[in-house]
Amino acid sequence: MLTAFARAFRTPDLRKKLLFTLAVIALFRLGSLLPTPGVSYHAVHICTDPDNLQDSSGIYGMVNLFSGGALLQLSVFALGIMPYITSSIIVQLLTVVIPRFEALKKEGQSGTAKLTQYTRYLTVALAVLQSTALLALARTPGRIFSGCQEDLVPDESLFRLVTMIGVMTAGTAVIMWLGELITDRGVGNGMSLLIFTSICSGFPNGLWNVKVAKGWSAFIAVIVVGLVVVAAVVLFEQAQRRIPVQYAKRMVGRRMYGGTSTYIPLKVNQAGVIPVIFASSLLYLPQLVSQLGGNTTTGWRGWVQRYLARGDHPLYVLVFVVLIIFFTFFYVAITFNPKEISDNMKRYGGFIPGIRAGRPTEEYLDYVLSRITLPGSLYLSVIAIIPIIALGLFHANQNFPFGGTSVLIMVGVGLETLKQVESQLQQRNYEGFLR
């Protein structure tokens, strides 16, 4: 991998793209540390002390992870990329439900541009809602930081609050723009690289918390286990079932087409990290509703706080695993259409050896996909509960680097970016058969 990037820096146009990408990432990290106007930076610094963050509510864990710690600092980029992720998922799910969105998806580039525009509008709307909710919680600091009594927002006038909401919403729009700039003029997928940067920024702090709590022996053990986990994630992310496809020869005019062999790659982890995000969000929802109420120690609010708000409780772990398995099958079912693939193969004269075209091919694809989705969902469940285990063994914070969404995103984005760099290098340094 390092050799590929070294060769890329020796190529002038690729070097410009890589330097542009690094510059945008540096600007993104600067905005993550810049405090929002009206927020007391001194109070935030006191409340973000590790002793307070250690016991902070897990409801903000994922958003804080995707913002690189900017959420708990109430910075300009406090909301991070999470509103865009949420709106993208919503629009993607609506393409299955709303016929208009499904038709746009089939129109090609023009339809995709329309869906992207809808995603941007929905991102801004969600950013307004989330920034309003965040400031409402910040007015009572104990809801975000355990034991913090500092006044995070000294001036609570309407003008000041509207300004803060506008700044945070504009910050989300700027992040969305920066991601699109990287995609168009840089290397890799811009949104994915920004998430990758946010997660990596919390890596040193997460590892240092382990060292402070348990010493150097535990620190080294975590590094070794982390390398094993990363290797296992790379193995599963690259694993796929290749279904052979044969295309029959056919005459078109005076030319012969077809007669080639190819395959359909079905990944073991076909759903990616989406099921973990869905399951985490659904588990955080009851906790959010219970915190917005009054007394959280009695009634159904107390039950939620005792069983669903504690990541180390067996019931929480069980519900989390069940939700991940369910959402894995659900997401694969709505994103992979065996009938559409079967019809396309039949239209172009393709068939799976030993399987008749049409409905038998559709049933065979559905059967194979169901069999490889089960181990994929179990793999996601094991990776997702690693932070919960680490929380009990090493007293690490909830953004433990070698587990959950963090390692899945880091490995996935890293592999995808490396593939893009290598493909562009091959286009520029292709030697051919004659040397």
DSSP 42-77: HHHHHHTSHHHHHT--GGGHHHHHHTTTTTTTTBTT
217 occurs within a structural domain: no
Q: How far is CA 291 from CA 34, 74, 120, in A?
A: 28, 19, 30
Whether residue 169 lies inside any domain: the answer is yes
End-to-end CA gap in the chain: 25
What integer pLDDT is reported at residue 294 of this predicted model?
55
Bridge partner residues of 240 (DSSP): 267
pLDDT at 401: 56
Q: Of 278, 310, 296, 294, nearest to 388 (Cα)?
A: 310
Q: Considering the domain boundaries, does residue 249 fall inside one?
A: no
> Tell me, what's the pLDDT at 89?
77
Instruction: State pTM to two decimals.
Output: 0.74
pLDDT tens over the chain, length 435 residues: 567 667 777 778 888 888 898 999 989 888 888 878 877 766 666 666 555 544 444 445 555 665 555 566 677 888 878 788 888 878 877 887 888 888 888 787 888 888 888 889 999 998 888 888 777 777 665 555 555 666 677 777 788 888 888 888 998 899 989 988 998 888 888 888 888 888 787 777 777 777 777 778 877 887 887 788 888 888 888 888 888 888 776 666 666 665 677 888 888 888 877 787 777 767 776 766 666 655 556 666 676 666 666 556 678 788 888 888 988 888 888 778 888 888 888 887 788 888 888 888 888 888 888 889 988 888 888 888 876 676 566 555 544 556 667 788 788 788 888 888 887 777 766 544 444
In a domain, 282, yes or no: no
Q: Is residue 345 part of a domain?
A: no
Cα–Cα distance between 99 and 32 in angstroms, integer? 39
Q: Which long-range contacts (CB under 8 A, 24 or more apart) does 228-231 make?
A: 229/383, 229/386, 229/402, 229/403, 229/407, 230/402, 230/407, 230/411
Per-residue confidence (pLDDT) for residue 62, from 0 to 100: 56
Q: Quote the domain boundaries for residue 5.
A: 1-201
The reported pLDDT for the residue numbered 113 is 85
Cα dihedral angle (247, 252, 257, 263), rounded to 10 degrees?
A: -30
Per the listing, tokens 């091919």 go with 361
Q: Has residue 227 been placed in a domain?
A: no
Does a structural domain hold residue 37?
A: yes
pLDDT of residue 395: 55
Rounded CA separation 178/192 (Å):
11
Which CATH number do you get for residue 121? 1.10.3370.10
Structural element, H or E, at residue 84: helix 82-97
Q: How is the chain split among helix, strand and coil, in percent rounded to 5?
A: 70, 5, 25
Q: Which residues contact 55 (CB under 8 A, 6 or more apart)?
A: 146, 147
**Rounded Cα–Cα distance for residues 414 and 373 (Å):** 23
Tell which residue, 175, 181, 187, has the closest CA to residue 19.
187
How many domains in the chain? 1
Residue at 389 is within a domain: no
Structure tokens at 256: 């012969």
* Residue 284 CB coordination number (10 Å): 19
CA distance 165 to 185: 30
